[in-house]
Structure 1
Amino acid sequence: MKILISTLFCLFFLTRAEVFSQEIQRPNIILIFADDLAYGDLGIYGAKGWATPHLDQLARDGARFTQFYVPHAVCTASRAALLTGTYANRLELFGAIDHTAKHGLNPEETTIAEMLKSNGYKTGMVGKWHLGHHPEFLPTRQGFDRYFGLPYSNDMWPNHPEVNGYYPPLPLIENETVLAYLEDQRELTSWYTQKSLEFIEDNQNQPFFLYLAHSMPHVPLYVSDKFKGRSEQGLYGDVMMEIDWSIGEIRKKLESLDLSENTLIIFTSDNGPWLSYGGHAGLQAGLREGKGTSWEGGIRVPAIFTWPGTIPAGVIQNQAAMTIDVLPTLANLSLSPLPTLPIDGRNIWPLIQGKPMEDKPYFAYYNKNELQALIYGKWKLVFPHTYRTIPQGTEMRNDGLPVKYTQIKLEKSELFDLSTDLGEQTDLSERFPEILQMMNEFAESARKDLGDALTGREGSGNRKAGRIQEN
């Protein structure tokens, strides 16, 4: 009987795979992840002061999400979640690790690159990694055939404006070799773009996965001479226009190689704007707070999915989704098996095509495993916690130096209807007790599974980060 059931299952899977492959050819995949790019930083999302024509066209040619999230409003955790389809706190990865870290993404976890490589894809990464700088944690040990970029954030170098003498020289790495230590970052976006084009050219005759993780517009801002002074806004706008140019160059390369209709491009960001940097930070577009918080300005990001001829043009998707959904969606499209260890995302291919799906709860964690917020459809519940904000009346700067945050304690849970209150100003918890109860039940399930430092809970489903073996 077991053999019969197994045989029927295999026949079902093969039949499904054959039908799917007849409907949709297995695509090349380009995943572009910007750093600290805000929800309002693209023209099609309302940007003023600079132009992003290539990104705007990318959105018009496919699907644009208006309620897309990262689960962690900070670098390392956000990247771990994207590449594994799993909340980073489940993986024991928090915050933004630096050159002193002895840990990184556990090699036992499955990245998008490993999943696709096992299914015949060529894999390459260009840009900021930030999941461990020791050799055993580098991209080449996590499923990528090639790597070119920085091991962590571009401000983790001797020129940091607030930390004197802490950071060593910033290494530019190819595969596992340090090519140089950067003293200037003006050509970084151009270098990333060129390496991306080379990867596409070299792998045009086979399925490929390119992960392009731009270091910009994270501070310190640098732009090449070809874009210096191009925007009305200033340096931040110049940087955004160069990122937009990079997307244009990639699309031009795909067209020249006749690959456009077999390539899925995804564009999103790792979190919202670093507001303390004033004119060197992005646009909140009416959202509350920014990077480093679980308010909408910290975790809501632009998201575009384009695949000409397969994803309908002009889709505007208003349902909530999250970066943890990218891996299972790509598994479905590439007919790849999901990781053996449990993940947290789901396949959102129907949403990308403009179709509805049942809402699911999404959780926002920050600091050392604090469950700070929960999103379910249009509803958001924010739990009591301490968060950073810029005091009212602070004179903002535009010279690359930050102003100081202050800490505020949210004393009680607050419930918001995001469909009418993007700025999270009106607490509806007393008006909708049944919604509050439902949201608290979702939160309790997360605390049991993932833990919650705010309520002193240990999660039963958490795993360990990778750690270097020290003598």
Structure 2
Amino acid sequence: MLVRLRLGTLKRLCFGLFAAALVCGGHVNASAATAEQPNIVIIVGDDMGYSDVGFNGSKEIPTPHLDALAAAGTKFTNGYVSGPYCSPTRAGLLTGRYQTRFGHEFNPSAAKNAGLPLTERTIADRLRGAGYRTGLVGKWHLGSSPDRHPNSRGFDEFFGFIAGAHPYMPGQGPPIFRNREKVKETEYLTDALGREAVAFIDRHQKEPFFLYLAFNAVHTPMEAQEERMAKFAHIKDTKRRQYAAMMAAMDDAIGSVLAELDKTGLSDNTLVFFFSDNGGPTMATTATNGSINAPLRGSKRTTLEGGVRVPFLAKWPGKIPAGKSYDLPVIQLDATRTALVAGGADQANDKMLEGVDLLPYLAGKNAAAPHEALFWRFGEQMAVRKGDWKLVKYDPVVDGGKKGATDARLYNLASDLSEEKNLIAEEPEKAKELQAAWEEWNKSNVPPLWGQNEGKAEAKNKKGKAKRRAAAAAAE
């Protein structure tokens, strides 16, 4: 009967027997002793508005494929990311640790060695060590030096771009790479990323795989195809209409990935996570994209809910309940730990990992909250959420003020989701409790490896030097 099993299944059964034997000898975590390793797909959107998906109530922008994913899995109504900015969130996801533990607090500067520190092991490193084929499709944004390239950080295969943003229309912007080789792309970039993700699944359907699909949609520049724009002619604001079309493109690409999992018969044994890297950029000091975070207040680059609470889904038939909502706070670090446990790559004594395995909580085996508290540090801004209470210092640009950080504000999110009523005067002891918890957490953080605006300053300086050299050459 075994001869009829596909090669990948045999390989996974062998892994399970090997892992079980090791467990009997007391050498590895019992979570590795699974009969068959699941495939793992983590999909990340970029700069999405909290309310701009159907499963969070959007009527203006249909997202049928994401809604289908939500219906087949669990929606996290209190799903967070560990940073309000693109690269820090990705650093947290790939390591399973708060990025402030290793200095990746801001987007990398233009310095040669800026990026995810080489001291950190990635989820791809760990899963590859457990027998997975690992692939990244899309945005990297964790360093550009050769030793920080995705192929040097655990990914067997890479298709995408290295920097933090990229134009969508073909023939524009920095290079697109296949591994370390530049390639010429002829499709709209979001469509191309969907195509490459499908091809990765097709190539590796007979072996366990980990696919990290990191879209740059809906990050600026705002570039949408006319045929998709036409579907949103009812939206009068041009930027919002472009945003809707770009969201539709990403939803279509995700639909193609889910369809490929169905086509290859892999859906039932594939763990899928989806979330945005941060909230939508809606305030003046960000490159706005037409997103809407309501009813949340705040924006990308703030520690208010609008910066760090994001659309968040998980699906694994038979392991994660379908069509359910989970209301206790979770964070993207949990996706890392959950994937590692499921794939047999987790080690229970690894204190470096800070997320939790969500499966016992989602299955109802553990009714406690996955986290006693969640924490954020972003320069002068900070936040801690403990139960329904949140203490936060945020960028006052959101309120029309000058850049920096407010004094501490205390909110009860159960009754004040929009963080409008500051209760610090009424609840001083609760504020002290949360501040003490944050300060204890902060003891294990390190100073940022680079400043918040270093990259922009260096790029501006570089551009200025280029202009001066061109002017000098013209004068000669």
TM-score range, shorter-chain basis? 0.7 to 0.9
Shift of 1:331: 1.6
Q: Which residue of 1 aligns with 2:296?
A: 287
Unaligned runs of 5+ in 1: 1-6, 158-167, 392-404, 454-471
**Aligned partners of 1:170, 1:99: CA distance in 2, in Å?**
15
1:439-454 pair list within 5 angstroms: 439-450=434-445
The partner residue of 2:104 within 93, 105, 116 is 93
Are 1:410 and 2:406 matched, yes or no?
A: yes
1:13-412 pair list within 5 angstroms: 16-17=30-31, 21=34, 25-97=36-108, 99-154=110-165, 169-180=173-184, 187-231=188-232, 232-233=234-235, 234-275=241-282, 276=284, 280-338=289-347, 342-353=352-363, 356-358=367-369, 359-367=371-379, 370=380, 372-383=382-393, 386-389=395-398, 391=400, 406-407=402-403, 409-411=405-407
1:88-144 superposed Cα distances (whole Å, 9 cap, x missing partner): 121211322255453211233111111110000000000000000111101100100
Q: Which amino acid aligns with 1:223?
A: A
**Aligned partners of 2:22, 2:225: CA distance in 1, in Å?**
58
Shift of 1:324: 1.5
Stretches (4+) displaced over 6 A: none
Asked whether the 8 Å contact 2:279–2:299 carries over to 1, the reply is: yes
Asked whether the 8 Å contact 1:107–1:141 carries over to 2, the reply is: no
SS of residue matched to 1:389: helix
TM-score (norm 1): 0.81
Q: Which amino acid aligns with 2:267?
A: S
Shift of 1:332: 1.4
- Identical columns (%): 32
**Aligned partners of 1:187, 1:98: CA distance in 2, in Å?**
28
Shift of 1:366: 1.1
**Aligned partners of 2:447, 2:382: CA distance in 1, in Å?**
9
Shift of 1:48: 3.0
Structure number with higher strand proportion? 1
The partner residue of 2:427 within 409, 432, 448 is 432
Structure number with higher helix proportion? 2
SS of residue matched to 2:397: strand
Q: Which amino acid aligns with 1:136?
A: D
Q: Which residue of 2 aligns with 1:457?
A: none
**Aligned partners of 1:446, 1:420: CA distance in 2, in Å?**
26
**Aligned partners of 1:430, 1:452: CA distance in 2, in Å?**
31
Shift of 1:341: 6.7
Change in CA separation of 1:171 and 1:341 when aligned onto 2, cut-off 3 Å: farther
Q: Which deviates the most, 92-101 or 142-151?
A: 92-101
Q: Which deviates the most, 434-443 or 138-147?
A: 434-443
TM-score (norm 2): 0.80
Shift of 1:386: 4.3
Q: Which residue of 2 aligns with 1:419?
A: 414
CA RMSD of aligned residues (A): 2.7
Asked whether the 8 Å contact 2:77–2:325 carries over to 1, the reply is: yes
**Aligned partners of 1:238, 1:118: CA distance in 2, in Å?**
39
Unaligned runs of 5+ in 2: 1-20, 236-240, 449-476
Q: Which residue of 2 aligns with 1:469?
A: none
